[in-house]
Structure 1
Amino acid sequence: MPGGQVSSPPEHVGLASIAAAVQRAGGSRAHPADQMDERLEDLAASLEASAGQQSTTFDFQCMTGDTREVLGLLGELLQQPALPRDKLSLVQAQVTNIISHRDDNASGVARRELYKLLYGQDSIYARTPTLSGVASLTPADLAAHIAAWQRPDGAILGLVGDFSSSDMMSTVKEVLGSWSPAAGQPAAPLARPHEDLPDLPSVLAAAAAAADAGNQQQQQQQASQVVYLVDRPDAKQASVYTGEPGISLSDPDCYALDVLASTLNGFGGTLFDELRTRQGLAYSVAANWDSPVDHRGLFVAAAETVQPAKFIQELSGVLASVRVEPPTQQALDKARAGLLNSFVFNFASSYSQLQRTLVYQLLGLPQDFLFTYRDRVEAVTAQQVVDAAARHLHPQQQVVVVVGDAAVFGPQLTEAGFEVQALRPAPAE
């Protein structure tokens, strides 16, 4: 069903995931938590719920002969969730623990802050839950969210197994036929929220203002690249994330950029060979384009290093080179083969095929998209790769976040010619 994390309100970021967790853990009015779990265990069946960024998913697996009963339990969760207070309290405690420790991982901090700088502090694609927002949730909040987003006219159901399709369709109608939108809901489902990502100059200006409004004019006048430094005292190495606005899946360059990413990453990739093998600047390094369906994604490169200034410079050099130097035929063939070899995993199981079918339907993609993607990747040329890189890569203008010991890495970055700006992540309260 559409919704997911982007549908959570600003005051309750994370509501979609919490609602799905409590909905499943709490059982239904007819089968409260323990009864539902015991019955599923007796049937050797599973029934799970989760919320991704743009959708909420329920899935079950069971013996074919038990489908009617398990489908009925799913129907109860959707139409009459119990949402007990004790289960909400348990999930709140778990999420609170995660939030309290979210800054323990320097790489996670760098990624989070980069997304906030690129998308905007309050963007639905960069928001993070707060302790107060999670603590203030009530069962009524969960029920309202479920009523608004979980409705049959916005849902897509798929089943795969050893059964007659016509018989199964009759079963679905009998078991779920009474499911209707909750009372008081609009006639049509809510549209999935989305936002437009600004172009690079606007992103840079907003990032500068978010980091330090008082120095915005000075930053804009500087010719040097700005690095946003998050102090992590006594850290022995720095986490570096750099990025810029990217593309959506509808961009015709997405195929060439995926091939380019394949030439950059992994053993034998340009980044690995240059920044790890030849220069020893990072144990691992990666760069990729995220290409969402309904909005522009990001280009992001990341690594852990004890020489962040030199790493950023050398990374910029590699990215600048791919803007003007087409990949060799050998590199191109290897990159395309790597992407195409992964094609088979889309058909590795009936579940993966079903999941892909539902996702495409939910997001409005044609069902032959995967085959079209394969054909377009096979047709990518070296010139298309370099042309796409020239259009979408701007290494000297990218937003850079470094998380590390400011006393150690700050002078290193300044001496290398970067304009260093202190960045203080928002507290978790």
Structure 2
Amino acid sequence: MGKLPQSYPPLGSVQPYETEKLVLSNGLSVLLMEDHEVGAVSGTLLAQGGWRMEPEGRPGLSAIAATVQRSGGTLAHPKAKLDARLEDLAAGVEAAAGTNTSSVSFSCLSEDLDEVLSLFGEVTLAPALPQNELALQKALAIDTLARRKDDPGGLAPVELRRRIYGLQSPASVLPTKASIGAISRAEIASFLSRSFRPDGATLGIVGDFDRARIEELLESTLGQAAWPRPDTPLEAMVEVPPPPPREARLVLIDRPGLTQAYVAAGEAGTTLQDADTPALNLLGEVLNGFGGTLFDQLRTREGLAYTVYARFSPEYAFEGIFQAGGQTQSARLAEFITSLRRVIGEAASAPPDNKLLGDAKQAQASSFVFSQASSGSQLGTQLALTQLGLPKDLDFQLREAEQRLTGRDVFDAAARRLHPEEQTVVVVADAGAVRESLRTLGMPIEEISSADLWEDL
């Protein structure tokens, strides 16, 4: 076996694929990206939706609506018939819901585009929403809710988010057995009608298609005749209020019998377009990358962590979250939290050294090259940004801004945005094994049984 290479050529830069914008007769915006090398076509329709369109008291409605929109078949192609035909064509049509959008997507071979685009249009505009399918999906969702506390490692990040935004914030609401059980077919139909409007949606299509033919197909499938533009204005989305003031506190979720402890600590972060976001992205890499400061200090040098992480997650319409945490031995939990807060505090008290900063820039650049290497990935990013009303090249702008930053720039952003001594800390552990050591941290402690967690929502 020959020697492994000791160095590698630098990655090339990412060249943005060109998109063409169309507007159909009903006002639907369409982004087209031709790529004749793939022999296939895919597309996604993003509509104003997601949980920010859910009415009060109905958390989970958007997800159930998306599931039944696809799984229930259409008026012309009931579930079994739709599934069988798509399988025959080796094609797919799916629906989903997120924070700000609901979506329907398709993928197929180029030769099957006419038929699959027609089926895609049916799922979007004429889903059957059968009562038996709704009952099945509600039962499955309720079963999932019953098991959501099975993984102790997943509890701390969810509860941290609720504490950062405030327990009554729309960003903190969780679906419950009652909210899912109360969802009716009429509510789903109303939600989809309010969400899927041509004047509030953007369609992106990428792949091997004929430019003239695709415009004709789209107009017949999704234009004014098939999908009339309503006369009423778009519905306002749920506003997320600013988070409450930071508060140094520790929430201890008691899980008897655990020998390990799970930690999540954090505070409110930034929006995508905040001036500090590029610097914080780099700082996240400095802290979190392989060989980054958290890994180096807490795992390698101090042996405190099985896993350790930190990340900034900016949002579009409201402040995102900075979160750090990991998994440690119960006996060393207080040490872990102390060291975690110390390392985060150091990032806000001195610039990163040149090597750490250079490594972080290289890691971010490499990740960007791989994530945006294909036409499909670039269209997906451009589509999401366009639907949200952001510059379609915002991701390129952020990466370029990151490469221009100095250590001082990163430090200044950290000093403005990181306050480890004022952050909320959520711990999942056997309270009897860790309670006394946690008291040495000098933070107010609120203790909750994991059995009672989220039961009073």
**TM-score with structure 1 length normalisation?**
0.91
Deviation of 1:428 after TM superposition, in Å, equals 6.8
Q: Measure the CA separation in 2 of the matches of 1:194 and 1:39.
A: 41
2:419 is aligned to: 394
Q: Would the aligned equivalents of 2:152 and 2:428 in 1 still touch at CA under 8 Å?
A: yes
| CA displacement, residues 12-70 of structure 1 (integer Å, 9 cap, x when unaligned) | 21111110101101111111101111111222211111111211111111122221211
Q: Measure the CA separation in 2 of the matches of 1:71 and 1:148.
A: 22
2:227 is aligned to: 180
Give 1 or 2: higher strand fraction: 2
> Are 1:242 and 2:260 an aligned pair?
no
Q: Would the aligned equivalents of 2:220 and 2:226 in 1 still touch at CA under 8 Å?
A: no
Q: Measure the CA separation in 1 of the matches of 2:456 and 2:187.
A: 21
Give 1 or 2: higher helix fraction: 1
Matches within 5 A, 1:286-297: 286-297=309-320
Q: Measure the CA separation in 2 of the matches of 1:323 and 1:353.
A: 34
The DSSP-based 3-state class of the residue aligned with 1:159 is strand
Deviation of 1:186 after TM superposition, in Å, equals 5.8
Which amino acid is the alignment partner of residue 115 of structure 2? E
2:18 is aligned to: none
Q: Measure the CA separation in 1 of the matches of 2:252 and 2:90.
A: 51
Q: Measure the CA separation in 1 of the matches of 2:442 and 2:232.
A: 58
1:217 is aligned to: none
Q: Measure the CA separation in 2 of the matches of 1:418 and 1:123.
A: 24
Q: Measure the CA separation in 2 of the matches of 1:181 and 1:264.
A: 51
Which amino acid is the alignment partner of residue 104 of structure 1? D
1:309 is aligned to: 334
2:92 is aligned to: 46
Moved more, 408-417 or 418-427: 418-427
The DSSP-based 3-state class of the residue aligned with 2:171 is coil
Q: Which runs of 5+ in 2 are unaligned?
A: 1-46
> Are 1:109 and 2:137 an aligned pair?
no
1:385 is aligned to: 410
Which amino acid is the alignment partner of residue 14 of structure 1? G
Q: Would the aligned equivalents of 1:5 and 1:52 in 2 still touch at CA under 8 Å?
A: yes
Pick aligned residue for 2:215 from 169, 181, 185? 169
1:2 is aligned to: 48
Q: Measure the CA separation in 2 of the matches of 1:423 and 1:113.
A: 11
Deviation of 1:203 after TM superposition, in Å, equals 4.4
Q: Measure the CA separation in 2 of the matches of 1:394 and 1:112.
A: 20
Matches within 5 A, 1:26-425: 26-177=72-223, 178-180=225-227, 187-198=232-243, 202-204=245-247, 225-306=248-329, 307-423=332-448, 425=453
| CA displacement, residues 254-291 of structure 1 (integer Å, 9 cap, x when unaligned) | 11111111111132000001001111111111111111
Which amino acid is the alignment partner of residue 16 of structure 1? S
Q: Measure the CA separation in 2 of the matches of 1:428 and 1:354.
A: 42
Q: Measure the CA separation in 1 of the matches of 2:441 and 2:214.
A: 66
Q: Would the aligned equivalents of 1:68 and 1:175 in 2 still touch at CA under 8 Å?
A: no
Which amino acid is the alignment partner of residue 390 of structure 2? L
Q: Would the aligned equivalents of 1:110 and 1:402 in 2 still touch at CA under 8 Å?
A: yes
Q: Measure the CA separation in 2 of the matches of 1:299 and 1:383.
A: 20
Q: Would the aligned equivalents of 2:383 and 2:392 in 1 still touch at CA under 8 Å?
A: no
The DSSP-based 3-state class of the residue aligned with 1:324 is coil
The DSSP-based 3-state class of the residue aligned with 1:242 is strand
The DSSP-based 3-state class of the residue aligned with 2:267 is strand
Q: Measure the CA separation in 1 of the matches of 2:235 and 2:119.
A: 25
1:207 is aligned to: none
Q: Measure the CA separation in 2 of the matches of 1:24 and 1:254.
A: 36
The DSSP-based 3-state class of the residue aligned with 1:57 is strand
Q: Would the aligned equivalents of 2:282 and 2:361 in 1 still touch at CA under 8 Å?
A: yes
Which amino acid is the alignment partner of residue 161 of structure 1? G
Q: Measure the CA separation in 2 of the matches of 1:410 and 1:179.
A: 63
Q: Would the aligned equivalents of 2:263 and 2:427 in 1 still touch at CA under 8 Å?
A: yes
State the percentage of identical aligned residues: 39
Q: Which runs of 5+ in 1 are unaligned?
A: 205-224
Q: Measure the CA separation in 1 of the matches of 2:55 and 2:301.
A: 48
Aligned length: 405
Q: Would the aligned equivalents of 2:91 and 2:108 in 1 still touch at CA under 8 Å?
A: yes
Moved more, 151-160 or 343-352: 343-352
Deviation of 1:360 after TM superposition, in Å, equals 1.1
Deviation of 1:303 after TM superposition, in Å, equals 0.7
Which amino acid is the alignment partner of residue 164 of structure 1? D
| CA displacement, residues 375-429 of structure 1 (integer Å, 9 cap, x when unaligned) | 1011010001111111111101101111111111111101343332213522077
